[in-house]
Structure formats: structure tokens, C-alpha cells
Amino acid sequence: MAYETEEQQVEAIKQFWKENGTAIILGAVIGFGALFGWNYYQDHKERQGELASMAYSEILSLIDQDLADNTELASKVAAIRNDHASSSYASLAALGLAEQYAKDNKFTEAAEQLKWVVDQSNDTFKSIAQLRLARVQLQLEQYSDAIATAEAINEKAYLANALLIEAEALIAQDKTDEAKSVLIEARDAGDGAVSPLLQMRLSQFGIDK
């Protein structure tokens, strides 16, 4: 639209801002707010990752020392679990503490750490945590739990070992026929690769490789 005078142009601009100014300002505020919020989130996420990494480094140092008393290690693992539960560092820390507990025959404590990792549903660590948990449950003579945990493992790379744990739980309960069937499944799941323990069990029950 053409304006005959400068005054008409100024009045048109005033009218436009009167009608649309609030929406324009609000849109700008929202836009800058979203940008600020995103940058803050990214900075916060990066900072949290750095803190989790530093905490895990301290935990690794304690694990490497292989101390007789795991009190300090357990405290630091509890802290990283609480502060950085969704990070891979927390799952790795819990797996490390569980291994230390298992070495000390503290299988109940080891099971608690492994269950926590499983509950995080982190695809990177879930299957290995389930496998270790099933083995710990065997040590605790929780055979039904060990079988249930092993059966929940669906990652192919761990299937043969999971089936072997099921067989071990059945053998411990004198369920020989069921154990033999599961051992055959474990043999077949390995695609030709048979672990020494599985081979021993296959030979013990007269199952040809």
C-alpha cells in the first residue's frame, strides 16, 4: 500500500504494532527462551557427563586396588547411582562393585547391584547383568530365580551361556532329563562354539557334540 505522506506511514506502523506488537514480542521472547533453554540443557548434560566420568574414574581406582574392605567403594557407587542413574558410568560402576562382592562371596550384595543394572533397561549392559545375576542366583541356590533370569535374556550372543545356567539350575534340582534337553539347546545355540563347562556337561550326560 502506498502512503501519500510520511505521517500516514507512521500512523500505519503505529496501527500495525497496536494490532500485532504483543504477538511479535511474545514470539520473540518464546524463541529466545527456547534457544536459551536448549543451550542450558546441552551445557547441563555435558557437565553431568563430566561429573559422572570423574566419579567413575575414582571408582575404577578403588576397584583396581582390590581392597579387602569395600565400604568406600560401595559408598561411591551408591552416589553415582543416585546422581547419574541414567549414565553408562553408573551401570559400569554397579557391575564392578557386584564383581568385587562376588569375589568375596557376598552374593546377596552382588545380586542387588546386578538387579539395579537390569532395572535401568540399558541395552548395552542389560544382558550381561542378567547373565551375571543368574550365576549369582545359582550360588544363592535360588534356582527358580536363576532360570527366570536366564530365560529373560534374548540377546543371541549370550543365549548359549544363559541356557547353560538354566541347565545348571535344573541339575542342582536333580531334574536330569530337563537339564539334558536344555544342554542340547545350549550346544545348538553356540553355532559350533562350545565352552569348556558346557563340553564337560555334554560329556557327563553322554551327549555327542
Closest CA to 169 of 188, 152, 148: 148
CATH (domain of 198): 1.25.40
Check whether residue 168 and residue 100 sit in a common domain. no
Assess if residue 101 is contained within a domain: yes
**Considering the domain boundaries, does residue 119 fall inside one?**
no
Structural domain count, the chain = 2
- Written as nine digits, the cell of 99 is 564383581
Confidence check: pLDDT of 7 > 90? no
Same domain, 144 and 205: yes
Euclidean distance between CA atoms 194 and 74, whole angstroms: 36
Question: For residue range 8-56, what is the model confidence (pLDDT) as tens digits?
Answer: 454 554 554 455 545 544 555 555 455 545 454 354 455 656 777 888 8
pLDDT of residue 140 exceeding 70, the answer is: yes
> Exposure pattern of 57-78 as b/e (b: 16+ CB <10 Å)?
eebeebbeeeeeebeebbebbe
Q: Does residue 158 or residue 4 have the better pLDDT?
A: 158
67 membership: H or E segment, kind and range = none
Domain containing 55: what range?
A: 20-105
What pLDDT was estimated at residue 85? 87
15 domain residue, yes or no: no
Whether the pTM exceeds 0.85: the reply is no
Give residue 27's pLDDT.
Answer: 57
Q: Is 173 a residue whose pLDDT tops 60?
A: yes
Handedness of CA 100, 115, 106, 168 (dihedral sign): negative
User: Is the residue at 4 inside a domain?
Assistant: no
Looking at per-residue pLDDT, the higher value among 150 and 22 belongs to 150
Q: Are 100 and 114 in contact (CB under 8 A)?
A: no
Let me know whether 85 and 133 are in one domain. Answer: no
Look over the chain and give the mean of its residue pLDDT values, rounded to a whole number.
81
| pLDDT score for 112 | 97
| pLDDT one-digit tens code per residue, 76-133 | 999 999 998 888 889 999 999 999 999 999 999 999 999 999 999 778 899 999 999 9
pLDDT at 71: 92
159 within 8 A of 151, measured Cβ to Cβ: no
